[in-house]
Each structure stands twice: as structure tokens, then as C-alpha cells.
Amino acid sequence: MKLLVGNREETIQKLLDRTIDIGLIEGPVDQPGLATRGVAEDELLLIVPAGWQGQERVTLEELCRLPLILREEGSGTRGVIARALAGQGLTIANLNVVLELNSNDAIKSAITAGHGVSLLSRLAIRREIQTGTLKALQVDGISFRSTFNIVYPAGKPATSLQKKFFRFLLTNKKAFC
């Protein structure tokens, strides 16, 4: 088995090109030729430096003013944010985006260094929350809920190894989160 790390759009394209057999992505997939299976529920939280002196909760209006660090276009996280904002009549352009990075680890480092705040997966920041290196806040008035999905070519029979991997993911959700 070979594991590649990429953003949502890259993963979907590799599945369509048949260069990979299975993808694990955040958010829904409405792509002809691909099938999905939900694996885990998640939500994005507002992540701030450990020394944050502000409130424990912020409003959507306050979120729009904070210096925000986002994932790049094409990432599942950014898609979750865009869909949630659209439900409130807003877009990414309504946010005060100061930096875009292509990995959660890079974003966590930027937050720790004081370059801004971000919206990241609860699953992606659980270690930093436990150790106290970052702090998570709720944003009132909006929900950034999402689902992690196994994505694979529709109509193509799964191999024995793929079936075992599906079972592993479905029965050991914490293993990949």
C-alpha cells in the first residue's frame, strides 16, 4: 500500500485519472464516476495561540475581522468554510485572510508564531489542544461541520486489500484522525 498526501482536488483528480484507488477526503463529493462512504464526523474550530487573551467564543462578525490563516484553494477544509459561509450569505472574500498555506502543520506553526488564527479540524488539532500549545474557540452563529469520506471509483469492484482497508477505517476511525 502506498499513501500519498494531497488536497481534496488533487485526490479527486488522481481518482478520476485512476492513478490511485482510494482517497480519504473532507467534505462531500458530487463527482460522476466516484462513490463515497462516510467514515467520521468532524467540525472546524477557531484555533488561536495558547496565550489568547480574548473571549472563549466569538461571533461570526468578529471572525470576519480576525487575521485568518487559511488552507489553499482546493483543500477540503477551505471547502467546508466556503459552504458554511455561503449558508450565511458570505464568501471567503468577507474574511480577513492574511496568509494561505497548504498544510495544517504549517498553519499550526504560523498560529503559534503569532501570525493569525485559523479554522481547523477538531481532529487535526486535538494533540495541540491536549498539550496546551493551541487553544480552540467556538464561533457563534455558524456551524463548520463536515464528514470525512472514503472516495473510490464507482462501479469498479474492490480488491481484497481495499475491502480490508475499508473495514479498518470504518472500525478504527481514530487510527487515521
pLDDT at 118 over 90: yes
- What is the reported pLDDT for 67? 98
- Taking residues 53-82, what's their average pLDDT? 94
Give pLDDT tens digits for 119-156: 999 988 999 999 999 999 999 999 999 888 888 888 87
C-alpha–C-alpha distance, residues 7 and 74, integer Å: 6
pLDDT at 175 over 70: no
Computed over every residue of the chain, the mean pLDDT equals 89
Q: Which three cell numbers stand for residue 141?
A: 452563529
Which of 78-87, 108-117, 146-155 is predicted least confidently? 146-155
Report pTM: 0.81
